């Protein structure tokens, strides 16, 4: 039976580490997706409109096929893999299917999970998803957990304490509260 294993990471570098480890373990790039906000890598593409096809990855495997995409509510993101296809089609056509929520829903995530993952990306994080069999899932989880994912339950509770309820495509890229507002 097929299953999807997903982890959210605090930053794009941790997600890249997970992808690199998954590929080193022999997973096919076709079964891995990565979507995340990485300002250093997308800055040049964002300056020219973050058009699809602005490949910024390096090396072999999935990371070599990274493309910068404009995503409503987030800004430019880097994406590659099987979830990327839904995002790319919508980003170029301007269709609602190309929204981050639409891509997540199309990948089989529940509405609640899709909103949480989209918000995590909006706030500068990254998401890695792997399609695998039930029998391989424990090994995949161990590899992904070794790259330091965030605790989704605790992070969701943190978002909710701040008043968050759902991902808002109209909100734009996340700006953390000013230090003076935290006092």
pLDDT digits (tens, 9 = 90+) for 107-149: 888 999 999 999 999 898 999 999 999 999 999 999 999 999 9
Q: What is the pTM of this model?
A: 0.79
57-68 per-position pLDDT tens digit: 344 577 776 777
- pLDDT of amino acid 86: 55
Contacts of residue 136, Cβ cutoff 8 Å, sequence gap at least 6? none
Answer yes or no: is pLDDT of 46 > 60: no
Cα-to-chain-centroid distance, residue 178:
25
DSSP 55: B
Say how many C-beta atoms besides its own lie within 10 A of residue 88's C-beta. Answer: 18
Q: Pairing between strand 67-71 and 75-80?
A: antiparallel
Here the tokens at position 95 are: 């269709």
Instruction: Give residue 103's pLDDT band: very low, low, confident or very high (50, 70, 90).
Output: confident
Please state the domain extents for the chain: 2-165
Here the tokens at position 177 are: 């509260």
- pLDDT of amino acid 150: 96
Classify residue 148 by burial, with Cβ atoms within 10 Å: 0-12, 13-18, 19+: middle
Cα-to-chain-centroid distance, residue 172:
16
- pLDDT of amino acid 32: 93
């Amino acid at each position: 039976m097929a299953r999807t294993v997903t982890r959210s990471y605090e930053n794009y570098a941790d997600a890249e580490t997970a992808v690199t480890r998954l590929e080193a373990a022999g997973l096919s790039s076709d079964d891995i997706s990565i979507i995340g906000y990485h300002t250093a890598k997308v800055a040049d593409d964002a300056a020219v409109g973050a058009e699809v096809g602005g490949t910024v990855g390096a090396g072999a495997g999935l990371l070599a096929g990274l493309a910068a995409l404009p995503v409503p509510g987030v800004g430019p993101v880097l994406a590659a893999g099987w979830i990327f296809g839904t995002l790319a089609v919508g980003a170029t056509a301007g269709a609602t299917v190309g929204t981050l929520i639409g891509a997540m829903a199309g990948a089989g995530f529940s509405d609640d999970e899709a909103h949480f993952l989209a918000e995590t990306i909006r706030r500068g994080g990254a998401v890695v998803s792997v399609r695998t069999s039930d029998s391989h899932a424990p090994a995949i989880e161990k590899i992904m957990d070794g790259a330091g994912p965030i605790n989704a339950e605790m992070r969701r509770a943190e978002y909710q304490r701040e008043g968050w309820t759902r991902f808002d495509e109209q909100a734009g890229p996340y700006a953390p509260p000013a230090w003076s507002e935290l006092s």
